[in-house]
Structure 1
Amino acid sequence: MSVSKDVIKQCLISMQHEVDEAMIINRPIDFEENGNYVIVGVRHAGKSYLLYQRVRQLQAAGKGWDEILFVNFEDERLAEFQTEDFNSLLEAHLELYGKKPVVFLDEVQNIPHWDKFVRRLADAKYQVYVTGSNAKMLSKEVATTLGGRFFIYDTYPYSFKEYLAAQQMELREHWEFDTIQRSQVKRHLNEYFYYGGLPEILLFKNKRAMLSSLYQKIYLGDICARNNIKNDRVLNILVKKMAESVKQPLSYNRLKNVIVTTGSSISVPTTIDYVDYASDSWLILSMENEVGKLTEKEMQKKYYFVDNGLLNLFLMNSETSLLENMVAVELCRRFGKKNVFFLNAEKEIDFIVPDGKLAIQVSYSIKNVNTYNKEVPPLVKYAKAHQDWNCLLITYDEEGMEEGIPIVPVWKWLMEV
């Protein structure tokens, strides 16, 4: 069943009002003036608001709504939208304004053949911005269809700097030496640490309940329903095990065995599929061993959650896991998730970024002698072998220098860039 052009026009006008009235926290993305973009990421990470931000920039440059077409495919009025309705979008805008628009397609991933439509728009010299919550949008087939004409932008939850901006925290020069401001930053860090940086969560007092609701939406909607998973209990066990093991490499076989011990039957190939589904929905980020053999890189990875708040739903006594997860997500944000590794050779280094010549250990505290001996010597050894690298140890709130290695509190490291 097709959607009528009158309904499409109603949706277009509604979105104009919504964008005009939205409160926006500008995020640090420099859009190419003539670029086309596919913006992806977990649900509620702020992808739509990046589009709103871009619309505001175009409006500031002199474009009006007569030159901007913005449609949100999660609008229930478009529930029956089909591939053949894409042309009706352009026709509806043309009938309203008679001009060729810049096209914004929000959460388009569930419309069949969306990629072919946007490629056709690009070929016709339209400027196009697309968002979606499914990493399958970046499959090789889609990349081939888009023909290299689109920039791919990964959207993460707020960085700590963006979180502070959203909390209307204005930092003065040399704030880190100001006792009051430094204590305010640390207070905000505590909330960010446990509840994460998903923009919508900031609006609610009962953040854990909202995070739980969001997880159910990702888990039931983006994973189970989309992939026709009948046994959601098995998937829930798998996600919980990945959360509990967030600091250790996990093999598919180990995940399978954990599920089998709970009385459920599952094969290794199905386990691999379920992990891929969780990754495709942007719930988890996978990380490879930098020196591992090809099969080991593929079969034994570390898994981190895209947001600390989502990870914390599954954990008790969570501080060490949450700290490492926070650093992992920030590194993926800064360098790209395909450029961050762990090192598991004689001794483990938590994070290696070859492109940035950066090696990082993460420890909540190194006051305990056993913890110190586990974390510091491997990093010292690595630093001696890589003298042009930046090697540091990140803690929650300890600072100093140990055997030539900078010890940096996470709040200070998060504010560096």
Structure 2
Amino acid sequence: MNEIKQVLVDQKARLERKFEKEKIIERDIPDLKKYLSHPNVLAILGVRRSGKSTLAEMLLRGENFGYVNFDDDRLAGIKVDDLYKLEKIIYELFGEVEYFLFDEIHNVKGWELFVSRLREEGEKIIITGSNSKMLSGELATALTGRHVNFTLFPFSFSEYLRFKGVKIEKVKDTFTTSSEGVIKRELGNYMREGGFPEVLKISDDLIFSIFSDIVYKDVVQRLKIKRIELFKVFTVNIIKYYSNEVSLSKLSKTLKLSNNTVEEWFNGLINAYVVITSERFTNRPREGMTSPKKVYVIDPSFITSIALDSSKGRIMENLVALQLSRMGEKLFYLKGNNYEIDFLTRDKAIQVTYASGKDEIPKREIEGLNKIKTKEKIVITWDYEDKLGEIKFIPIWKFLLTI
């Protein structure tokens, strides 16, 4: 009991030091605290080290709340029965708290019923987690309509600029010439460094430890994978497919693995937010289910540092996929006869091409858009802006900052 008390005191003190010493920026997110105006559970999900804990702490600044980080190695092996003891310790240390914040509570088997009981007793709770499946079990059943999920990504480009202290000058929707120059330079840095907060605060070298942590803690341990080195090879191969369709059957043959194993490993990477996928748009459901998915990586730093790739056109497409996902769009791509649309959303068709002038834009990008009907038709370029008929041409930096 005294050991757990010491852990919670240490964790709260570390929390306070973070806000005193580290650079904390506001995130471009909706008002999440409104979901806690009544007894409720707010689940902040996303890839490990994307800033979920910091965001949760920012929401509760100035409030009296109980805090437990279950990723602390001193709490390894804690059982669900211990959670009730832990609740008593929180009240003993912090008094009548108004909120509970539980980091990575899914590390405790059976945690769902504990959180459900707290909510039924009128408590307001924030939980964080680095696996998208953590709410698919008993908690989802017990709290139907009484919990809200929010997925947090690493820094967007606008958040990256804010962290770097870059001030953008514009009049209405027009950026000044000097701001444009700075933005374009920083975009190149962002495409290489990515948006993991710790990497930007400390060193690019942290990318490798973050990647290893995600692979081991959020996939290998969860799926109980024994062929760890082979799984790492598989993961790097998946990342190398970014902005392309991935054939799991081909990968299974190349790595001499069963189709079931490859599918399980691939889904493990999706659930841990290492990659996101885009489905082929079709009016035939069976075709959509069996068609290859396109793969996008959660942060460009994994592309440049882990896959050792710096293809600007493909990284641009990856950034667009992340931006659309941040906006809550489900990703689809379209393949027709002799044409392909990179992204189809509810009201947009979007092509992405690395072009700085009209003459550099491949004809197939335009022809594809002319063959479909949608509210908006957009070609995202590197540095070309115009409008020709129904089609808007938008530079990637402007798309990332204004859409």
- TM-score, L = length of structure 1: 0.87
Contact 2:342 2:352 in 1 (8 A): yes
Contact 2:243 2:315 in 1 (8 A): no
Give the SS at the match of 1:189.
Answer: helix
Aligned residues of 1:38 and 1:130 also touching (Cα < 8 A): yes
State how far apart, in whole Å, the 1-side matches of 2:138 and 2:289 are: 21
Partner of 1:393: 379
Among residues 18, 23, 46, which one is paired with 1:41 in the alignment?
A: 46
The aligned residue for residue 405 of structure 1 is: 391
Query: Which residue of the other structure, out of 324, 342, 350, is the alignment partner of 1:350?
Result: 342
Structure 1 residues 149-188: Cα deviation after superposition (integer angstroms, max 9, x where no partner): 1100001011111111111122233285422222111111
Q: Deviations over 1:5-29 (max 9, x none)?
A: 5335424542553455254211123
The reply on whether 1:195 has 2:187 as its aligned counterpart is: no
**From 373, 386, 393, the counterpart of 2:363:** 373
Structure 2 gap ranges (5+): none
SS in 2 for 1:335: coil
Q: 1:147 to 1:202 in 2, by over 3 A?
A: same
Match of 1:334 among 327, 337, 356: 327
Structure 1: tracts of 5 or more residues without a match: 260-264
Q: Deviation per CA, 1:265-310: give whole Å up to 9, x if none.
A: 2111111101011111110101111216434433321111111111
1:71/1:240 Cα in 2 relative to 1: closer, same or farther (>3 Å)? same
**2:25 corresponds to:** 25
Whether 1:241 aligns to 2:248 is no
Deviations 1:338-362 (A, max 9, x none): x2211123221000112xx011001
**Identical counterparts, % of pairs:** 28
How far, CA to CA, are the matches of 1:186 and 1:411 in structure 2? Answer: 7
RMSD: 2.3
State the secondary structure of the residue aligned to 1:135.
coil
In 2, distance between residues paired with 1:194 and 1:132?
26
Corresponding letter in the other structure for 1:39: I
Q: In the alignment, is residue 323 of structure 1 matched against residue 316 of structure 2? A: yes
Paired AA for residue 249 in structure 1: E
- State the partner residue of 2:118: 121
Distance 1:177 1:104, change over 3 A: closer
Deviation string, structure 1 residues 127-165 (Cα, Å, up to 9, x no partner): 000001111213255422333211000010111111111
Deviation sequence 1:23-44 (CA, Å, 0-9, x none): 4211123021334201110011
Give the structure 2 partner of residue 307 of structure 1: 299
Q: After superposition, what is the alpha-carbon deviation per residue over 1:236-289, rounded to whole angstroms, capped at 9, x for unaligned? A: 333233223223322321222232xxxxx2111111101011111110101111
Q: Which residue of 2 aligns with 1:10?
A: 9
Secondary structure, counterpart of 1:397 in structure 2: coil
Alignment partners' CA distance in 2, 1:413 and 1:309: 20
**CA contact under 8 A between 1:15 and 1:70: conserved in structure 2?**
no
One-letter code of the match for 1:55?
A: L
Tell me whether 1:228 sits opposite 2:211 in the alignment: no
Distance between the aligned counterparts of 2:294 and 2:2, measured in 1?
44
Aligned equivalent of 2:160: 163
Residues in 2 aligned to 1:367 and 1:236: alpha-carbon distance in whole angstroms: 40
- Give the TM-score, by structure 2 length: 0.90
Q: Could you say if the C-alpha distance between residues 408 and 16 of structure 1 is closer, same or farther in structure 2, counting changes exceeding 3 Å?
A: closer
Alignment deviations for residues 61-119 of structure 1 (CA, whole Å, 9 cap, x no partner): xx3xxx31111112233224221121122211222344143100012121111222111
Find the aligned partners of 2:94 and 2:239 in 1 and give their Cα distance: 51
SS of 2:252's equivalent in the other structure is helix
- Equivalent residue number for residue 250 of structure 1: 246
Deviates more, 1:325-334 or 1:24-33: 24-33
- d(CA) in 2 for partners of 1:77, 1:25: 29
Contact 1:358–1:391, Cα closer than 8 Å, also in 2:
yes
Opposite residue 157 of structure 1, the aligned amino acid is P
Q: Distance in 2 between matches of 1:12 and 1:194?
A: 33
